[in-house]
Structure 1
C-alpha cells in the first residue's frame, strides 16, 4: 500500500507540479506545450493560487515528491474552441472547471486521481457559488475517458460532430453537497 498525501499546492510545490504537467502534455497528449492551451502550466500560481475560488492540489509520495496534480477554476468552457451550447450551459463564475488532473504513470491505478477529484468536488461545494462542475478530456489519453465516465456523464462527444471537432469529450460531474 502506498501512502500519499494531498494538499493545496504551496509555492514550493510548483516546480515539481509544473514538471509533472509538462511531462504529461508531451508524453500522454503528444502535443507538447501549446501556449494557448497550457499557459496555466507555466504559471499555476497566477491561474490557481491567486483567486480564493480556485484551487491547485498536489499529491505527494512518501518522499515528498509531486506525483499528482489537480486544479479547479471558475472559468467555464470558452466558445470557440468549444461548442457554443457548452459555453452557454456552463458559464464562467457559476461553473467549476476541473483541470490538470494528472498522475505520474508509475503511480496510476491506485485511486489517487479519484482522491484528487473528490477533494476538488468538496472545494467546489464549499465555495457555495458553483452550480455545475465541468471538464473535458482527450479520449486518446489511455484510461482518461473511462475514468471520467465512472465519475460523470458525457454531455458532448466531439468525435460525433461533423469533422470531429477537436476530438474531445465533455463531461458534467455531479457536485458533492
Structure 2
C-alpha cells in the first residue's frame, strides 16, 4: 500500500484533537473490521452479505496488499473509530446498470468504499477528512480517471453528505422498478 496519503491537519484533527488519520496497517485490521461490521449490521441493517461485503472479512488482501488500493483509519485513544477505502474496481453489471459499469470501468475508476464512522465520533469532520485523503491518494496514483461511489439513501445523513461532495450520476430510485434503490456519485479528482 502506498504511503502517499497527505494528511489534512487543518481539518477535523485540528478542530478535534486526539484523532489520527493514517493508512491502515496489519495491526488495524481487526479494529477496522469491527467498525465495518458494526456499520453493516447497525446503520445499513443488511448484516453481512458475502457477495457485497467480502472485503470486510479480508481487508488486508483487498486494501493493504494491492498497490493501487488503500484503507485509511481514524484512530482515537488507540482505537479505530472510522474507516475509508479505495479500490480499483468500478460498479459491476449486474446488479448496476450496464451504462454505469461502462462509464466507470475497473482499473480506471477509484471506487471509494467503507467510509464509516462510529456513531459517537460523527459530526467532527472525520468522514470529510477521510474522503479528501482518499481522493489525494487516487490522484497521486496517476492511473485513475474518475472517483466513484454509491450509497444507500435510507441511511440517515448519507445522501446529503455525498451530495455536498460530489454529483449524482444515477439515482436508482428514479429508474423503472427502482433498481436497487441506491444513489451513485462521482467526486471531483484533485489536481496533482
Q: TM-score interval w.r.t. the shorter chain?
A: over 0.9
TM-score between the two structures when normalised by the length of structure 1: 0.98
Match in the other structure for 2:75: 60
Match in the other structure for 1:117: 131
Distance 1:64 1:118 in 2: 22
Match in the other structure for 1:159: 173
Q: Encode CA deviations 1:112-155: one digit per residue, 9 max, x unaligned.
A: 00000000000000000000000000001110000000000000
Give the superposition deviation at 1:2: 3.8
Give the superposition deviation at 1:3: 2.4
Give the superposition deviation at 1:6: 0.7
Structure 1 spans left out of the alignment, 5+ residues:
none
Give the superposition deviation at 1:64: 1.2
Distance 2:89 2:45 in 1: 25
Question: Structure 1 runs of 4+ off > 2 angstroms?
Answer: none
Distance 1:111 1:118 in 2: 11
Distance 1:173 1:33 in 2: 27
Alignment of 1:5-44 (within 5 A): 5-44=20-59
**C-alpha RMSD over aligned residues:** 0.6
Match in the other structure for 1:88: 102
Distance 1:45 1:82 in 2: 26
Match in the other structure for 1:147: 161
Distance 1:148 1:128 in 2: 24
Match in the other structure for 1:78: 92
Number of equivalenced pairs? 176
Distance 2:175 2:146 in 1: 24
Structure 2 spans left out of the alignment, 5+ residues:
1-15
Distance 1:65 1:2 in 2: 14
Distance 1:51 1:165 in 2: 31
